Amino acid sequence: MCGIVGLHLRDPELYPRLGSLLESMLCQMAGRGPDSAGVAVYGDHRRCPEGYAAVSALTEGSVEIPGALVTEAGDTTVIAAPMGVDDLVAAVRATGARVVGFGTDLTVYKGTGHPRELAATYDLANAQGWQGLAHTRMATESAVTPEGCHPFSVGPDQCLVHNGSFANHATIRRELRAEGVEFDSENDSEVGARFVAQRLAQGEDLAKALRALCERFDGFYTLLVTTGEGFAVVCDAIACKPAIIAETPRWVAMASEFRALADLPGIESADIYEPEPERVYAWQR
Amino acid sequence: MATVTPVSSKVDLSTSSVRALNAELHEPAAEAYEVLHPQGAHAIAAGVHHPVTVDIRGHAGYYCAGMNDGGTITVHGSAGTGVAENMMSGTVRVHGDASQSAGATGHGGLLVVSGSASMRCGISMKGIDIVVGGDIGPMSAFMAQAGRLVVCGDAGDALGDSIYEARIYVRGKVNSLGADCVEKPMRAEHLSELAGLLGAAGLDHDPADFRRYGSARKLYHFAAHNSDSY
């Protein structure tokens, strides 16, 4: 069991409230995943200023990069600097740190512990932006470590969170490795994220990449995948894991359970529905 | 001095816990309860075993009215997974939609969903009657053993897979039938029982618009010519 929440804001007036809304949603899902919790925030210019790249990293010691804004948030260190993404990723990797998220609009936080405490560690309540997601983890396939915490962010401004377990991840991991793809963890969800990232890098759009994932992956999954353009939801063929979507003119939200959506502004007039199995639901900015 | 039984009582879940609500419902001091601000909480009005009336004003979470035995429970909103799961008797009404496994394993009573019900509606039903005003999702009535499932809209894939003796009535189209589930003729007694179920649910559809589905009874009897398989 794991918990997923995601919020894609359509109304810019809500951007300052992204973090507080997401924190409330995350805490409702704490019982579904008390091992660890991760968060991704899109469009917070205090965490990733315009013209900067941001890299989230798991590191033993401190990371020192000239001219960079470095923020420590529990297990995660966020490094933002006015340089290209690839250059910043290389500079952070050169310090021996493990990169767990990168982009020009995205900051990722991962850690182990109770979701409510981690939300405070990440200062989630004060986050701003146009899109965010969070995940609470109850580990089944691999160890409870910051690396195994979701989201898996393995492409620029991309994140994937997963509730469920892939059955054939080892096979697909071998295939991707043979094609030169590198992995950071033994986590089955990372294989899904690497698969999607490879498809997006080849020019497919998010919906097409997720349809390919449905073709290739066996097992149980409800996935929420975000990019710098939008977000998408898909469930496996028998919808083994829960998902509920709510839409209003001001926002699109997705969660494992309705109670995570119950306090969103305007929920009483939202269009609320469950995604159908193997149908990709995608929204763009 | 005789104590006066209050006719009606309100419980606000923004200030009271589901545990406290259910403890009260299990030994009710009132005849009727109104539950405010449910906010999708789980197990609201689970385990009711007195003839009380419960009105839930909003959306309910998982297992709402689970194991109901004699209560009249209404969700004035939608309900999460497993509404009226394992109901024994009584009535549960959902004015909105119901999530997966509505009425699962129910032994008796009536579940009415005014909107649509998601996948696995009536899975392993054992005597419950379920009436759905809209559509039902895939794999509904899987291994259904007894009871009636009425669907006023469409049914998803694999309806009635591995069904035993439950009867299914569908007004719209059926995406596909599951293993050993077949269409059967609508005889007078079926039209009559369907009219009764629709009436109990407060719906006025014409029973003649429905088709009946049930077990071909080929799956659960052992056939001698299959001996070689064992």
3-state helix, strand, coil in chain B (%, to 5): 15, 30, 55
Contacts of A259 in chain B (CB under 8 A): 39-42, 61
pLDDT of residue B5: 67
Q: Which of A185, A132, A139 is nearest to A162 (CA)?
A: A139
3-state secondary structure of B10: strand
Contact A209, A199 (CB under 8 A): yes
- pLDDT value at position A62? 81
Instruction: Pick the residue of A256, A274, A278, A279 with the most B CBs within 10 A to test the interface with B by mutation.
Output: A274
Report CB contact under 8 Å: B119, A238: yes
Q: List the single residue in B with minimal CA-CA distance to A263.
A: B39
The whole-number pLDDT of residue B3 equals: 60
Q: What is the pLDDT of residue B4?
A: 63
- Rounded to 10 degrees, the C-alpha dihedral A91/A97/A103/A105 comes to -110
List the pLDDT tens digit at each of the 230 positions of chain B: 556 667 889 999 999 999 999 999 999 999 999 999 999 999 999 999 999 999 999 999 999 999 999 999 999 999 999 999 999 999 999 999 999 999 999 999 999 999 999 999 999 999 999 999 999 999 999 999 999 999 999 999 999 999 999 999 999 999 999 999 999 999 999 999 999 999 999 999 999 999 999 999 988 777 788 787 77
In 3D, which of A16, A10, A17, A26 has the Cα closest to residue A255? Answer: A26
What SS3 class is residue A168?
Answer: coil
B39 to A257: CB separation less than 8 angstroms, yes or no? no
* pLDDT exceeds cutoff 70 at A96: yes
Nearby residues of B95 by Cβ (< 8 Å), 6 or more positions away: B74, B75, B76, B77, B114, B115
Q: Give the closest residue to A9 by CA, choosing from A233, A223, A253.
A: A253
**Crossing angle of helices A206-216 and A188-201, rounded to 10°:** 130
Q: CB under 8 Å to A130, separation ≥6 — which residues? A: A8, A9, A12, A15, A18, A42, A43, A285
Predicted pLDDT at B152: 98
pLDDT score at A213: 98
SS3 B20: helix
For residue A66, cis peptide bond before it (omega within 30 degrees of 0): no
pLDDT band at A266 (very low <50, low <70, confident <90, very high): very high
- Please, which residues 242-261 of chain A have a Cβ atom closer than 8 Å to chain B? 242, 244, 257-261
Q: Smallest Cβ distance to B78: which of A239, A272, A276?
A: A272
Least Cα separation, residue A76 to chain B (angstroms)? 33
Q: Which of helix, strand or coil describes residue A272?
A: strand
* CA nearest neighbour of A107 among A49, A28, A40: A40
**Residue B229: predicted pLDDT:** 74
Distance from CA of A165 to the nearest CA of B (A): 20
Pick the residue from chain A with its C-alpha nearest to B77: A268
Answer whether B66's CB lies under 8 Å from B81's CB.
no
B99 touches chain A (CB under 8 A): yes
Q: B119 and A239: CB-CB below 8 Å?
A: yes
- The secondary structure of residue B3, as a DSSP letter, is P
Q: Which tokens go with A15?
A: 């951007």
Name the region of B83 (left: φ>0; alpha: ψ -120 to 50; beta: rest).
beta
Query: Which of B80, B118, B139 lies nearest to residue A258, judging by beta carbons?
Result: B80
| pLDDT score for A142 | 81
Among residues A47, A53, A44, the alpha carbon closest in space to that of A90 is found at: A53
Q: Whole-structure pTM over 0.90, yes or no?
A: yes
Chain B: nearest CA to A28, how far in angstroms?
A: 10
- A204 to chain B, any CB pair closer than 8 A? The answer is no
Beta-carbon pairs below 8 A across chains A and B: 41
Task: Report CA-CA distances (Å) from B33 to A76, B12, B22, B45, B112.
Answer: 49, 10, 11, 10, 19
Interface contact B139, partner A, CB < 8 A: yes
Q: Which residue of B has its CA nearest to A237?
A: B138
Q: Which residues of A63-75 are buried (b: 16+ CB within 10 A; e: fewer)?
A: bebeebbebebbb
| CB-side neighbour CA atoms (13 Å) of A282 | 17
Please give the structure tokens belonging to residue A68.
């960079």
Question: Alpha carbon B126 to chain centroid distance?
Answer: 11
Least CA distance to B37: which residue of chain A?
A262
d(CA B81, CA B18): 17
Chain B: give the shortest CA distance to residue A256, in Å: 11
How far, rounded to the nearest angstrom, does the alpha carbon of residue A62 sit from its chain's CA centroid? 24
User: Which residue of A5, A27, A257, A272 to mutate against B (max B Cβ within 10 Å)?
Assistant: A257
Catalytic residue check, A27? no
Pick B99's closest partner by Cβ from A260, A274, A276.
A274
Sign of the torsion angle spanned by Cα atoms A146, A152, A156, A158? negative
Chain A CA closest to residue B140? A238
B61 to A258: CB separation less than 8 angstroms, yes or no: yes
Three-state DSSP state, B101: coil
* C-alpha span between A106 and A46 (Å, rounded): 11
- The per-residue pLDDT for A64 is 86
Q: Select which of A2, A27, A48, A149 is catalytic.
A: A2
- DSSP H or E segment with residue A235: strand A230-235
User: Do B182 and B92 form a contact (C-beta atoms < 8 A)?
Assistant: no
Cβ-count burial of B33 within 10 angstroms (0-12 exposed, 13-18 middle, 19+ buried)?
buried
Residue A168 to chain B, least CA–CA distance (Å): 24
- Asked whether B56 and B38 are in contact (CB, 8 A), the reply is yes
Taking CB atoms and an 8 Å limit, are A239 and B97 in contact across chains?
no
pLDDT at residue A140 in the model:
81
Q: Is residue A43 packed enough to be buried (19+ CB in 10 Å), middle (13-18) or exposed (0-12)?
A: buried
Spatial distance between the Cα atoms of A47 and A40, rounded to a whole number of angstroms = 11
Asked if the C-beta of A139 comes within 8 angstroms of chain B's C-beta atoms, the answer is no
Res B6: pLDDT: 73
pLDDT at residue number B1: 52
Please tell me the distance from the alpha carbon of residue B118 to that of residue B136, in angstroms, as a whole number. Answer: 5
Q: Which residues contact B197 (CB under 8 A, 6 or more apart)?
A: B110, B129, B131, B148, B150, B169
Q: Cα dist. A240→A30, A163, B6 in Å?
A: 20, 10, 44
Contacts of B80 in chain A (CB under 8 A): 257-258
For residues A141-165, give the mean pLDDT: 94
Lowest mean pLDDT among A104-113, A142-151, A217-226, B167-176: A142-151
Put simply, whether A238 touches B (Cβ < 8 Å) is: yes
Tell which residue, B109, B136, B114, has the closest CA to residue B123.
Answer: B136
Quick check: A244 pLDDT over 80? yes
Percent above pLDDT 90 for chain A = 93
